[in-house]
Structure 1
C-alpha cells in the first residue's frame, strides 16, 4: 500500500461498477487457493463423535464453503456492498489424513473468477460441519493482474449455527478507515460490531466478544466470609484496570460478585482466538504436572520428619534439587487408566530434566553461599528479578508521603552514625551531593497494610527501607536496613559478618527480600504488566479493525495474555489461591495492589521516564538515549535503553508510513475511538487524569505504541523470566516471614546463637509454601517451545506493505546487534554487576532473536513478543 495519502486526508474510492453487458463479455477463469488449517484434536475422545459426523456431513454435501469478496467492485443488488463470488468448497476434507495429534494441514480450494469481481479483498467462510477448526492462512495463486493474494486468519471457525452473522476474513493489506475500499467498508464496520457483542449475557466458547468487567471474580462469598474479596475496579477505594467480561451469574451472597468456576477448571471464557494453542497448552500442562510431582515428593518424605513443615538446614533445602523420585509402577498404571493419553505423555515426558526434582536455580549453581553476600544483595536490585524499584536517595533521613494524621510521623530514624562508618570515608552530605546514595524503599507501599497482615495472617512482616552506597567499582554496598511497624519505633540494622550480629544482619536482609518478593509479584509483575495491558487488548479488538495499521502493529504483543490472566484469576490471585498461600500479604494481596494502582501513570511506564522519576538517571543530550545513568553499571537500565530505543525506532518508522502528518492521527476515527475507550473504560478509574496523551499528534501515537510494546515484551521479560534463576532457591528470595526479629534474652535469640541456619529458616517461608511457590515460579519462568520473540513474526507476510516489512527487518537486525553488545558487556570483567558473586550473567533482556525456536524452558533469556505466561 505504501503511504496512502501524503496530504494527510483520504479520498473515497470509485466503485468502478460495470454494466451487465460488459460483465457478460469479461474473461472467466479459475483461481486456485491453498487453505492452511488445523482440525480439532483427533485425540480428544469426547470429540470423536463430532469427527465422524463431519465425515458424514461431507458425504451429504454439508461442507466448508468460501466466497471471495471484491475490494474494487460494488454490487448494486447487494446494497452497494461488494460483489461476492460463487461459493467454492474446501477439497479433500475426508480423504486427507490428519496427523495423530492436532497439526496443520493444507487443503485446496478452487474459485470461479471473472474480471467483474475485480481484486479479491476478503472472503466469507461457512462451516457446515459439526465441529470447529482453526483457520490459519489462505493464499490465492496467480490472481490475474495481481499475482498472489494472502489472508492471515488465525481464528477458530465454529459451525455456522453458532453465529448470527457471516465470518469474514480480510487480505493482509492495510488501510486507514477513510482509505478503505468502498466495497469493504461495510464488512470492516460490521466485524467490529460483532466483536463488541451486546454487553450482556453469559459468553460461550464460540463467542468472539471482547468486553469489560471489574475484578469481581476473585472471591467466593457463598463459601463463607473468609472467602469474600472486595470488587476491584469501579471505585475510588479500589480502582483497577478492567479485565475481560465472562458474563457468569452473580453469587447468591453478593450480587456484585461473579460466581466462580470449579477450582481446577480451566474452562474460563476468553475469546477463543485468545486461548493457548495446542503446543502452548501442552507445554503448560506438562510443566504443571511436573511441578505437582515436585511438591509431592518432599511432602511425602516430610511425613516421617520430626519437623514436617520445616527445613532444618540449608542442606535440607538443597535436597529439593538433588536425587530422583520415580512413581511406583502401580501408580503409573492407575494414571494411564484414568487419564487422557496426552496428559500421561506430558507427565512422563523425557525432556532431559529429572522428574519430580526441581531444576538447580542459577543463583546456587556455581556457589551455594554467594547469595548471602552483601555484594549480591545489592547487585540484585539492579540486575535481579525486580530491578525496577531502587531509586536515588535525595534527602536524609528518608521521609514518607503517608498522611501523618493517619500514620503518625513516618520519617526514617536512620542517622548519619548508622551509615558513615561503612561509607569509605565519605559523609552522608557528600554522598548525597555526589549522587552516591540509593534506597530500596518499600515503606510507604506496605505500611498501610502492616496491621491487618500481622494481626490476621500468619505473616509477621516489617515495612523496610534499605540505604546503599554506590562504590567506585560500580557495585552497591548496603549501609543500613530499617524495619518499621505501625506506632512502634523503627529498628535500624547495619552490616556484620560474623557471630550473632552476622545472623541478625542476614535476617534483616531476609525481611527486605520478603518485602521485595511480594512487591515484585503483586506490583512489578502482575499489576504493572499483566493487569494494565489487558484493557489495551480489549480496546484494540473492539475499536481497531484487523485492516488498521495500529492493530497490525500491536496485535503480536497481545498473544496469550487474556488467557494467562484468566488462569491467574482462577487459580493464582483468587481467594485462597496460590499467591495468597505463598506471598506475605495473603488475603490482602490484590486489595493492596488496587491501592498501589492509584499511583500508576501511563506515561511513566516509558523506560526513560521511569529512570528519571526514580532519579537513577538525569537528562543529558550528549549521552546515548539522551540520558546519563547515575549507576553506570545498571544492567537492566543499560540493556533496557537499547531495547527501548530499538522499539521506538521501529514504531516511528512504521507509523510514519501511515501517518505523515498530525492531521492524519486526528482524522483517524478508529484510532480516536480506540484511545477514548481505552482511557474512559479500559482504565476507566483513571479517565480524568491529566497525564493521558491526547492522541492528537504523531509523537503521541508513537510514544503510546512504544510504551505498550515495551510493557508487553521487554518489561515483562525483565520481571518474569528471572524468577526461577533467582527465587527458585527461596532463601535468596523468601516470600513470607513468620516471626519478628528476635530480641536479646528470648528463646528465639538463643536459637540464633546456637543454630543460626535453623533460626533463619524458621523465620522465612516454611516447607509447603516454599514448594508451592517454587513450583509456581518454575512454570512462570519457562519459555514455551512455540515462543515468538521480539523482532520475530510467525508470518513473513503479515502485511502486504513493503515499506513496513523492510522497517521490521531493520528492527530485527538491530535486536541482533543488541544481543552481541549484551554478550560483550557480560564478558567485561570491569562491569561487576553483570555477573556478580553468584556468577549469573544478566541475560533477561537478551532478545534471543538469533536463537529463535532453538531454546525453550528455563533459559533465563529471551524477550517474548507478549505476556504469554
Structure 2
C-alpha cells in the first residue's frame, strides 16, 4: 500500500467514533493519542487523517472485584482527500505514554460517517481487537468478502495480514518465546504438562508428551497454541517462570472481569494447606482423612444443620453474606484457628505480610492466597440440585439412569445390541427379574436396553499403569476400576434405571457382576457409587476437556491463520472461539498439568491426561461430534436419519432431555448457518462463489485435518466431513459451533449441581468393594462385616476423603460459574458481523433460539416426563440458551445452571 501525497485536494469531512478500553487497569482513558489512516479499497493508497474536535466520554465496563472500570467513547472529525474513492480499511496506531499503565487499547467499535456529502455515507470497521502501543494495525470494513471478491486495493493487505498471523512476515520474528504484542498463531504438541523434572523418567512429575511428533510417540492428541518457549533435548517445553501467566495473543486473553473470576481457581485448591484446616471443620474417625457419615458431607452445604463445634465456632465469626466474605471477617476467622493449623497454612502459603501496628487493623491481613483459601473453606455453599429436597433420591437406581440422560454427562449412553452382549459376555441369567417381565432377547430387539462403556481404553490402557503406581504406595492414585453399566428403559413410563454393573478390578481380568437382585443392598449401593466415579472421570477428562476444550483449540488457531477477518466464515465463527485459547492455556498450567488440580482429585492421578489421549486416538471422529451424528453413532436415534436433522420422535431413548432440547438448538444453528452461507456462496459448480473455489476456506479445512488434528485416525474417510458444497460446509461449521456452545454448556454448567455432593459423583476410589465373604455359618467376615457394621463410614471410606471432596467442590464451583461478560447464543452484545444481510440472519436466529427456550420451559412443566418433572426429576435447564429465567447474581455466583455461551470460555 502506498501513502497518499501530502498535496491531495481536501475532500469529504468524516466524523469518527471509537469505543475503546483498557480494562486491565483502573487508570482512566482521557484523550488517547491515536493515529488513523484510511486505505482506499480501489487503489490501496493510505490517507492519514488529522483528527480535530476530539472529545472523550466515559464508558462503564464490568467491575473487576470491587473496582469500577471505565473505557472511553472518543469522537472527532477529519478531512479526507478528494481522490479517496471509498475506505476499505483503516490503519490504527496507538502512541502510548511511557509513564502510563495503559500500553494497549481494546477497540470495540470504530465507525466513520461523511458529513459534507449530499448523502451521508457510513463505514463501520470490524475491530473487536487489542492494539498494542506503537504497533500499526489494520481493520477492514465489515463488508464480508470471499478471496476472489476482495477489492483490488485490499488484496495485498489481506494476504499480508494472514502471513503475519502465521509468522511468515519477514518483519515478524517467529523464533523465541512469544511475549507482549506478538500476534503469531502456530501449532505445538502438549509438551508442557510435566513438572520441573519433565523428561527425566526418575522424576515423579514427568509426563508423556501428548501428540505424535516422532517414531516413538504413541499418544495422539489435538494440537495446542505454540508459545515459542525453549524446547529441551527431550522435546519438553521450558517451564513458565514463577509468578507468570501463559502467553496468548492479546486478542485471545480474558477481559479483566473474566480473569478476576477465573484466577481464584488454583488458589482455591491448595490441598496441602487445606488438610489441617479440614481436620478442624469435619467430624472424622479414626483420622482426618475420611468422612464419618453422610451428614458430615451434607454439613458442607448448610449452616442450619448440626455441624462440628470447631467449624461452627469459625462460621460464627463470618458475616451473613454467604459469598462476599470481607477481608476483616476473614482475618477474624483466621485468628480463631488453632496455632497448629495456622502454622500448617503459612508453611504452604506464606505468612500475612507484617505491617506497622499503628496501621488500621484491617491492613494487618495481606496474604491473598490465605484469603482465597478461607473463602473456599468457610463460605456457605449452595445446596446442590441433586441433594436439594431429595436427600435419598441420589441413591436410587432410577436416579442413576436419569442422570445418564439429563445429568452433566449425557453423552455416553448407547443402545445395547448383540455385539455388546458378545463383548460383555452377559446372558439371560444375569438379567433375570430385572427387565419387567421381558426376556433379554426382547429387550434387545425392542431397544429398551442401553449401556455405558467405561472399560474399553480405561481397563486395558490405563488401569494397569495406575495399579503399578498404587503398588509403589503412590498416594496420588487410587483403586482404578473399569467397567460397564447396563440400563433398562421401562416401556410404559420411559424411566431408565441401572440394572447391572460389571466392574473389572485393576490390572486383572477379574470381573465382578453386581445387580439389585444378586447383590446385598449395601454392596449394590457401593457398586453404583464406584461406577459413578468412572462416569465422573469420563465426564471431566473426555466429555469435557477432550471433546470441547482440546478439540476446539486447533479450529481456533486455523481460523486465525487461514481466514482473513474479511472472510464471511471468519465473521460467523469468531464468537465460537472467544477466550478458548486463554482458558486452555490456563488449564495447562494449573488444572491438567503434573500435580495439578485434576490429577489431585481423580483416581488415575498422573495417568489422567494419558487416558484422554488414548480415547482420542481410539474413538474421536469429527463427523460424529455434531448432535444428530452423535446420536446415530450411539444408536439412540434411528440410523437412517439425516446427519443434519434428527426429529425428537426418531429418538430410541425416550424422555432424553439432553437430546430433545439439544436438537432444538442444533436445528436453529443449522438454519442460521445455512441462511448466512447462502448469502456468500453458490452451489453452481461454474460459479466463482462455489466453496471448492475458495482458497482460504480449503486451506483452512485442510490445515485443521493435517496440522491441528493430524493424529486423528481417518480410516476409509470416516473421520472428516467432505467439503463439497454449501450443505457440507453448514454441517462442518455447525458441528464446530455446537461443540463450543451447546455441548460445552451441557457438560460444564451442571457440574456443581451433580458433582459438588461427593457421594453422588465421587472423583476418587480409595479402596476395593468388599467381596461377599461369609464364614461357615453364613456370617459376613472381613471387609464385608465392617461395611455392614458401620455402613456410612465404610461407604464413604471407599470414595473421596474430605480433602479431595473439598477440592472437587471448589473446582466444580469455579467451572460452573458464568462470567459477568459472558456472551450467549441469541444474545451476544459484541458486533461480530456488520453486514446488514448477516445481521438480519442473526436476528432471525435470535428469534428461533428464543422460541426453542420457550419450548424447553414448557417441556419442563410436562408431568409426563419422569426425567424432568417426577418427584425424582429435576427440570433440565442446561440448554436454556439464555439466563433470563435466572439472572447471574452475587448470590448464585453465576451458577445458574442455564445459558449457552457462544464458546468454550470456562
TM-score, structure 2 as length reference: 0.83
Residue 564 of structure 2 corresponds to residue 529 of structure 1: no
How big is each residue's C-alpha offset from its partner over 1:797-847, in whole Å with a ceiling of 9 and x where there is no partner? 543322211111111111111111111111111110124554421111111
Residues 835 and 585 from structure 1, CA distance in 2 versus in 1: closer, same or farther, beyond 3 angstroms? farther
| Aligned CA distance change for structure 1 residues 397 and 123 (closer, same or farther; 3 Å) | closer
2:74 aligns to what? 107
- Aligned with 2:660 (options 626, 638, 663): 638
Q: State the Cα deviation string for residues 318-359 of structure 1 (Å, max 9, x = none).
A: 11112336323395995864899999999999xxx9962322
Structure-to-structure mapping, 1:290-439, within 5 angstroms = 298-301=278-281, 306-323=286-303, 324=315, 326=318, 327-329=330-332, 334=352, 337=363, 356-395=379-418, 398-399=421-422, 411-439=423-451
SS in 2 for 1:422: coil
Note the C-alpha offset of 1:747: 3.0
Q: Aligned-pair distance for 1:238?
A: 0.5
Say whether residues 1:769 and 2:791 are aligned partners.
Answer: no
Shift of 1:561: 0.7
Aligned partners of 2:766 and 2:369: how far apart in 1? 37
Which of 464, 468, 476 pairs up with 1:451? 464
**CA contact 2:104–2:130 (8 Å) conserved in 1:** yes
Is the CA contact 1:85–1:112 (under 8 Å) kept in the aligned structure 2? no
Residue 278 of structure 1 and its aligned partner are, at CA, apart by 1.3
Question: Aligned-pair distance for 1:522?
Answer: 0.7
Q: Are the aligned partners of 2:57 and 2:72 in contact in 1 as well (CA < 8 Å)?
A: no
Contact 1:383 1:636 in 2 (8 A): yes
Richer in helix (by share):
1
The match for 1:149 is 123
The CA distance in 2 between the partners of 1:543 and 1:783, in whole Å, is: 31
**Using the alignment, how far apart are the partners of 2:531 and 2:705 within structure 1?**
36
Distance 1:718 1:95, change over 3 A: closer
Written as runs of structure 1 = structure 2, the 5 A alignment for 1:87-98 is 87-88=50-51, 91=54
Given the alignment of the two structures, is residue 246 of structure 1 paired with residue 209 of structure 2, yes or no? no
Cα shift at 1:121: 2.2
Match of 1:404 in 2: none
CA positional deviation for 1:792? 2.0
Looking at structure 1, the residues matched to 822 and 591 of structure 2 have their Cα atoms a distance apart, in angstroms, of: 22
The offset of 1:84, in angstroms, is 2.1
Is structure 2 residue 43 aligned with structure 1 residue 64?
no
Do structure 1's residue 490 and structure 2's residue 511 form an aligned pair? Answer: yes
CA shift in 2, pair 1:768/1:616, >3 Å? same
Whether 1:556 aligns to 2:575 is yes
- Residue number among 232, 237, 250 corresponding to 1:258 in the alignment: 237
Q: What secondary structure is seen at the aligned counterpart in 2 of 1:362?
A: coil
Distance 2:270 2:842 in 1: 41
Matches within 5 A, 1:61-210: 63-72=33-42, 74=43, 81-88=44-51, 91=54, 101-129=68-96, 130=98, 131-142=103-114, 144=117, 145-160=119-134, 163=135, 166-198=136-168, 199-210=174-185
Q: How many Å apart are 1:852 and its aligned residue? A: 9.5
In structure 1, what is the Cα distance between the partners aligned to 2:419 and 2:851?
42
Which runs of no fewer than 5 residues in structure 2 stay unpaired? 169-173, 304-314, 319-329, 336-350, 354-361, 471-476, 775-780
Shift of 1:90: 9.4
Larger mean CA deviation between 94-103 and 855-864 belongs to 94-103
The 1-side partners of 2:206 and 2:888 are apart by 45
Cα distance in 2 for residues equivalent to 1:832 and 1:583: 31
Contact 1:240–1:685, Cα closer than 8 Å, also in 2: yes
d(CA) in 2 for partners of 1:578, 1:20: 60
- Verify the 8 A CA contact 2:628 2:646 in the aligned structure 1: no
Name the SS for the 2:76 alignment partner.
Answer: strand
Separation in 2, partners of 1:630, 1:92: 63
2:626 to 591, 597, 606: 606
CA root-mean-square deviation: 3.3
Q: Specify the SS of the correspondent of 2:822.
A: coil
Mapped partners of 2:72, 2:408: distance in 1: 41
- 1:757 equivalent to 2:729? Answer no
Q: Is contact 1:83–1:183 with CA below 8 Å preserved after alignment?
A: no
1:707 aligned onto 2:735: yes
Q: For residue 850 of structure 1, report the CA deviation from its aligned partner.
A: 4.8
Residue 847 of structure 2 corresponds to 813
Indicate how the Cα distance of structure 1 residues 717 and 183 shifts in structure 2: closer, same or farther if over 3 A, else same. same
Secondary structure of 2:123's match? Answer: strand
Deviations 1:603-656 (A, max 9, x none): 011111111111111046699638611112111111111111111111101111
CA distance in 1, matches of 2:765, 2:131: 50
Partner of 2:880: 846
Structure 1 pair 104–147 and aligned structure 2 pair: CA distance change class (3 A):
same
Aligned equivalent of 1:473 = 493
Match runs of 1:480-629 below 5 Å? 480-485=500-505, 486-495=507-516, 501-598=520-617, 599-619=619-639, 625=647, 628-629=650-651
8 Å contact kept, 1:295–1:772: no
Contact 1:544 1:671 in 2 (8 A): yes
Conserved in 1, the CA contact under 8 Å of 2:268 and 2:807?
Answer: no
The change in CA–CA distance for 1:187 and 1:845 in structure 2 (over 3 A counts) is: same
- 1:441: which partner in 2? 453
More moved, 287-296 vs 127-136: 287-296
Aligned in 2, Cα 1:266/1:306: closer, same or farther, shift over 3 Å? farther
Q: CA–CA distance in 2 between the matches of 1:850 and 1:115?
A: 50
Aligned to 2:756: 728
Answer whether contact 1:173 1:800 (CA < 8 A) is retained: yes
* Structure 2 match to 1:33: 16
Gaps of 5+ in 1: 1-14, 75-80, 400-410
Q: How many angstroms apart in 2 are the aligned matches of 1:89 and 1:135?
A: 20
Distance 1:620 1:97 in 2: 53
Matched position secondary structure for 1:832: coil
Q: Secondary structure at the match of 2:45?
A: strand
- Please say if residues 266 and 590 of structure 2, whose CA atoms lie closer than 8 Å, have aligned partners that are also in contact: no
Q: Give the TM-score taking structure 1 as reference length.
A: 0.86
Preserved CA contact (<8 Å) 1:790 1:863? yes
Q: Counterparts of 1:765 and 1:345 in 2: how far apart (Å)?
A: 25
2:827·2:882 contact (CA, 8 Å) conserved in 1? no
3-state SS in 1 of match to 2:829: coil
Deviation of 1:314 (Å): 0.4
1:122–1:168 contact (8 Å) kept in structure 2: yes
- 1:211 — aligned with what? 186
Change (3 A) 1:803 1:849: farther
CA distance change for structure 1 residues 607 and 266 in 2, over 3 Å: closer, same or farther? farther
Task: Decide whether the 8 Å contact of 2:293 with 2:793 is kept in 1.
Answer: yes
* Residue equivalent to 1:402: none
> Does residue 1:834 correspond to 2:868, yes or no?
yes
CA distance in 2, matches of 1:764, 1:97: 48
CA gap 1:719/1:820 in 2 versus in 1, 3 angstroms? same
